């Protein structure tokens, strides 16, 4: 190849056209002098985690966890209120469409409606998150 560059090169990625183009652009915009400069030390992703107490939110019948209190406090600050409770048929349909992008079968809906165990919704979500359809649906957003 001319100049020793390849469109793709498994053993020497530094010899690819893409890497040469990327390096050229980075040189044009200017690389930082230090790879671990001041910006890296103050960037939010590298800061130490803080332990924060969830805010106290009045009218918290919607709240089930500490995270819900953070969400409700922010929603109230934005002038938004949570939706009301939905029936189990709508709940399973929302979970299916949100997580895997497919409608539940009639049998799955009926099984969820008759399952009165307190962790029925948790079991449903665990099953949907373990489904290959979850990765198929969200892979296009992640990649």
Q: What is the residue-level pLDDT of the chain in tens, covering all 143 positions?
A: 455 544 555 566 555 666 667 666 666 666 555 555 556 667 777 788 888 899 988 877 788 888 999 999 999 999 998 888 899 999 999 999 999 999 999 999 999 999 999 999 999 999 999 999 999 999 888 87
End-to-end CA distance of the chain: 30
Helices 88-99 and 106-114: angle between axes, nearest 10 degrees:
130
77 and 92 in a single domain? The answer is no
Residue 43 lies in a domain: no
120 lies in the same domain as 100: yes
Same domain, yes or no: 1 and 25: yes
Alpha-carbon distances, residue 7 vs 24, 26, 43 (angstroms): 16, 19, 34
Q: Has residue 20 been placed in a domain?
A: yes
Total domains in the fold of the chain: 3
27 inside domain: yes
Residue 45 lies in a domain: no
Residues 103, 70 share a domain: no
Cα within 13 Å of Cα(77), Cβ side = 8
Residues 138, 98 share a domain: yes
User: Is this structure's pTM higher than 0.95?
Assistant: no
Please tell me the predicted confidence (pLDDT) of residue 7: 53
Place of tokens 């189990």: 88
Q: Whole domain around residue 21: which residue ranges?
A: 1-31
DSSP tag of 45: G
């Amino acid at each position: 190849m001319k100049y020793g560059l390849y469109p793709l090169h498994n053993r020497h990625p530094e010899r690819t056209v893409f890497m040469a183009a990327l390096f050229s652009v980075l040189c044009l915009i200017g690389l930082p002098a230090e790879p671990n400069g001041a910006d890296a030390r103050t960037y939010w992703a590298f800061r130490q985690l803080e332990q924060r107490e969830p805010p106290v939110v009045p009218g918290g019948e919607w709240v089930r966890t500490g995270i819900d209190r953070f969400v409700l406090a922010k929603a109230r600050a934005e002038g938004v209120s949570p939706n009301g409770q939905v029936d189990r048929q709508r709940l399973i349909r929302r979970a299916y469409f949100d997580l895997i992008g497919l409608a539940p079968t009639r049998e799955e809906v009926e099984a969820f409606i008759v399952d009165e165990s307190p962790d029925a919704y948790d079991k449903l979500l665990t099953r949907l998150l373990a489904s290959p359809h979850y990765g198929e649906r969200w892979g296009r957003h992640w990649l």
